[in-house]
Amino acid sequence: MQSTEPARFEGDFSSFWNLDTLPPLRRLSWWWWWWLVLIPDPERPGRSKQLMVLWSTRDCERINVSGYDWWGGGRTAVDEEGGIVFPGMVASWWFDGETVHEPIVLEEARMAAMDSGHSLWPGASAESGEAEAAVGGGAVVPIANDDLSMGMAADSSHFWLKLSASEEAKDGGSAAEFDFIMRPWNDEISALEYKHNMLVGNMGYDILRIHGTKCEGTVDGEPVEGTAYFQKVCVQAPSIPWFWGMLHFDNGSYLDWFLPHYSFSMTAHDDRPWKLRDFGQLPIQGAGLWKDAGRQRTEQFERCEVELIKPPDDEALFDGEGNPLPRFHIRMWNGRTQIGLVVAAVGRARWTFDQPTRAHMTSHFTYNEYPLKVEEITVLDEKGVRTLEDWQWIHGNAEHSWGVLH
């Protein structure tokens, strides 16, 4: 694991700017590009300001997204050079270190996606129809009044992300304009990684991830620096409850955990937390990933446990509706390393999805994202023990979902 900053993003970007190769399944197929930007908050040590942006489309007739009815939006068109235009939505929230502003964008739009070899790419040769120095670059550009685009330069040196908050969000106190550049952090966490998993029949998922980048830019014109995480996902299966989370460390390390599970929360039909059915999860297959810059190695964990903790009211922070924000106790281990940590949510963003299904019924799914503060962490391996004091800062985000979308 090298600590030097690479000149460009490495990896196979051949499917990065299209809608993947898995055969679509009606009411189940879901595609998205997803950026999470984390900016250290100097006024609140241990916290980070965070921006999440999602560019998404789904193969369905109709779905209600956090109160917005989306009716499929039309067909996808593909040109002879592989450029696509498709119906979708852009969704975003902003956490200013104290308050989650959600959504700051929730907008239906047709979107164009193309790689940097397309003849419409800026700098492309009019004669050859090829972009200059095309390596893996491309862009997703919603056709909208504001610039809500994201993309990567043709030479793979950096990504960009631009976003303008809605008037309603600005009236509610959100920052208005976001303009970021993401560059490689180190060879290990900034290289594009691919994972494919077929569950049963044609159901499964593809995921492309960049675990960590450096990030710089402006929020309402003020310069900021931080880190960012990216994933592009194609899901061809019902969405069931899961725990997931990720952490960035000041030395370029990266940690995540993932635990899909069965529970009575699958029967939930609203976004209210702390129902009795929230407890008693039956884990499916947990997993964890530790890209350890300190030890110069990467470790996989197949044993992972996540405990959802409701803090007592006298210790709790609360979301905008007065619900206590959760803590999560995570444990991961393999034959060499054990990791235990307690993280506390300091804000809550949530998205609700209600999709008509068979027999005139509606399936429901609530997806929560929590900006985190790390309260405790212990990493034990053959070289010793590391705790919170061994890093200058750790910033991250956690997810918890319930319901079933099908």
**Calpha distance 58→236 (Å, rounded):** 10
**Calpha distance 23→46 (Å, rounded):** 43
* pLDDT value for 20: 63
* pLDDT value for 179: 98
* pLDDT value for 1: 47
**Calpha distance 79→129 (Å, rounded):** 13
**Residue in 406, 340, 349 with CA at minimum distance from that of residue 101:** 349
What the block records as the tokens of 362 is 């509606």
Non-local (6+) Cβ contacts of 79 within 8 A are none
Phi and psi at residue 336, in whole multiples of 5°? Answer: -120, -35
Q: Is 23 exposed, middle or buried (0-12, 13-18, 19+ CB in 10 A)?
A: exposed
Give residue-wise pLDDT tens across range 218-240. 999 999 999 999 999 887 766 78
Which stretches of the chain drop beneath a pLDDT of 70? 1-3, 20-28, 73-74, 124-135, 196-204, 237-238, 277-279, 359
Residue keyed to tokens 């959504």:
103
Domains in the chain: boundaries: 1-237, 239-406
What the block records as the tokens of 22 is 């898995």
Phi and psi at residue 184, in whole multiples of 5°? Answer: -60, 145
**Calpha distance 210→308 (Å, rounded):** 27
Buried b (16+ CB within 10 A) or exposed e, 133-170: ebbbbbbbbbebebebbbbbbbbbbbbebbbbbbeebb
Residue keyed to tokens 């685009």:
149
* pLDDT value for 164: 98
**Cα distances (Å, whole numbers) of residue 112 to 14, 87, 139:** 17, 9, 8
* pLDDT value for 268: 84
Buried b (16+ CB within 10 A) or exposed e, 231-260: bbbbbbbbbbbbbbbbbbbeebbbbbbbbb
* pLDDT value for 262: 81
**Calpha distance 389→378 (Å, rounded):** 10
- H-run or E-run covering 187: helix 187-190
Fold classification of 239-406 (topology level): AttH-like fold (2.40.370)
* pLDDT value for 73: 63
Nearest 5°: the CA angle 299, 302, 306 is: 105
What the block records as the tokens of 350 is 């949530």
* pLDDT value for 28: 61
CA 272 to chain centre: 22
* pLDDT value for 77: 86
- H-run or E-run covering 304: strand 303-309
Q: What is the pTM of this model?
A: 0.94
Phi and psi at residue 169, in whole multiples of 5°? Answer: -65, -40
